[in-house]
Chains A and B, each alone.
Chain A
Amino acid sequence: MAKIIAGFASSHVPAIGAAIDNKQTHDPYWQRIFSGFEKAKKWIADAQPEVVIAVYNDHASAFSVELIPTFAIGCAAEFPPADEGWGPRPVPVVKGHPQLASHIATSAILDGFDLTIANKMEVDHGLTVPLNLAFGSPDEWPCPVIPIAVNVVQFPPPTGKRCFDLGRAIRKAVASYPEDLRIVVFGTGGMSHQISGPRAGLINSKFDKAFLDRLTKDPKGLAAMPHIEYMREAGAEGIELVMWHVMRGALDDKVKEVYRFYTVPASNTAVGNIILENVAKPAKKAAAKKTAPKKAKGLRKAA
């Protein structure tokens, strides 16, 4: 049976991609940021996910104002990097997992989530920068990736609660997929930033750190935050953070925070990274509940 083992959330600043592509990662400015992801890279190398489900947003690359899907799931076999105005990023083509993606789409739609199905889609820095931050710059990405694009460009994006509930629907779908697969769900975007208008350059570290704290401990309360609060406190584009709720909703209520990194700035943006592991082993937990609920903790430890 497929299972979600952890969530990995990270900013997806385009300038980070440009720094990688232009081989500037060792410049002191960028070194500060890339060194902060070293532990995350090590963690994911050890975790060896067999599929990544990556929740991200398109930045007027695959979707313009002609078509704005609120949630779109990529069911294609591959997703080429988009030309964002200066040629496609020199990163590997993202290979999908059409069977699992279609399974998630079917399950989620029947569960009340009317996902848009994308069978042809190019992916931009919103998806490929977090892949770089997690996996470096390999010739091929180490595992298939299922992209889930969320509209955060035209207001309103889906609510935090709706994002969280989509995570729940993804979790349910994964649990009914027969093949044994270890899955990590990525949430991307944020953290606080504003890149438009005279208030550009806004950073709110206090907000960001509280967001990281509550993401671990109070995910449902955090997901209830109204849009206006993101925009006012974390900048007009800080609203990208709603995508982190999809990742969180896909995890157990109780998670273990295994790593966190936060720095300011990367170009215009505060950069955050958090890794949350599911503590319980789903199958054993269910079995333990039926027989001896009090021993569940011990069982988990032993497992």
Chain B
Amino acid sequence: MARKAQDYDDIPGTFVFDAERSRQGYGINMFCMSLMKEDNRKAFKANEAEYLKKYPLTPEQTEAILKRDYNRMLELGGNIYFTAKLGATDGHSFRHLAAEMTGATQDDYAKMMLEGGRSVEGNRSKSGKYDTPVKKAVAKPKAKAAAKSAKKSKSSSKRK
């Protein structure tokens, strides 16, 4: 069944962890929760695919976990506080994961944060409804521009 539309779906680059995603992602989040125990972390690392069989996961969810596709995990019902435990098992901090989810390099992301973070201007809504016209040019994070151009090149290659 398609997701019921919500007002917060209009926020770009954001997967709000609501009841529907919580139901959908129960297996992902409970798997992540198991990684709070050292024995489980070891068992998972020893054979990831086998370990995941213990949890009620769809093939898409399993694939997202194995590939460490953090955005996809969120889309399929994972929650960041849970998926961060998978990140911690791999030795990564919240900031590392955040950078990865934005598509930026670690250095570029760290630099963006030091410069005051991602501006809200132009990032409020997909529809543009809530964004006031920006008077001065706001430098877009390089990664986002890069991701956009990557998307473009993908779609143009499809057309070919």
User: Is B125 an interface residue when CB atoms closer than 8 A count as contact?
Assistant: yes
Contact flags A179-210 to B (C-beta < 8 A → 1, else 0): 00000000000001011111111111101000
Tell me if A291 counts as interface (CB < 8 A to partner B). Answer: no
B141 touches A201 (CB 8 A): yes
Q: Is the CB of B120 within 8 A of A85?
A: no
A20 to nearest B CB, angstroms? Answer: 15
Known interface pairs A84-B36, A85-B36, A196-B74; A201-B16 also in contact (CB < 8 Å): no
Q: How far, in whole Å, are A196 and B74 apart by their CA atoms in the complex?
A: 8
Contact code string B51-86 (vs A, CB < 8 Å = 1, else 0): 000000000000000000001001000011110110
Q: Which residues of A have CB within 8 Å of B113?
A: 201, 203, 264-265, 267-268
How does the 8 Å CB contact mask read for B88-121 relative to A, with 1 for contact and 0 for none? Answer: 1100011101110111000001001110111110
A270 pairs with B17, CB closer than 8 A: no
Docked-complex contact A195 and B102, CB < 8 angstroms: no
- State which of A65, A196, A200, A201 has its C-beta within 8 Å of the C-beta of B22: A65
Residues of A within 8 A of B14 (CB): 194, 196-197, 199, 231, 236
Interchain pairs with CB closer than 8 A, number: 151
- Contact at B16–A153, with CB atoms within 8 Å? no
Q: Is the CB of B81 within 8 A of A59?
A: yes
Count how many chain A residues have C-beta atoms less than 8 Å from C-beta atoms of the other chain. 43
Q: How many residues of B contact A (CB 8 A)?
A: 55
Q: Which of B26, B35, B114, B130 contacts A85 (CB 8 A)?
A: B35
Could you say which of A85, A156, A197, A201 has the most chain B C-beta atoms within 10 Å of its C-beta?
Answer: A201
Instruction: Given A15-B95, A265-B117, decide whether A201 and B29 contact each other with a Cβ distance below 8 A.
Output: no
Give B133 Cβ to nearest chain A Cβ, in Å: 16
Minimal beta-carbon separation of B21 from chain A (angstroms): 8
User: Which chain A residues have a beta carbon within 8 Å of chain B's beta carbons?
Assistant: 14-15, 18, 59-61, 64-66, 83-86, 153-156, 192, 194-205, 207, 227-228, 231-233, 236-237, 264-265, 267-268, 270
Q: List 13 A-B contacts (CB under 8 A).
A: A15-B94, A60-B81, A64-B29, A154-B22, A195-B98, A196-B80, A199-B11, A200-B13, A203-B117, A231-B16, A232-B124, A233-B120, A265-B113
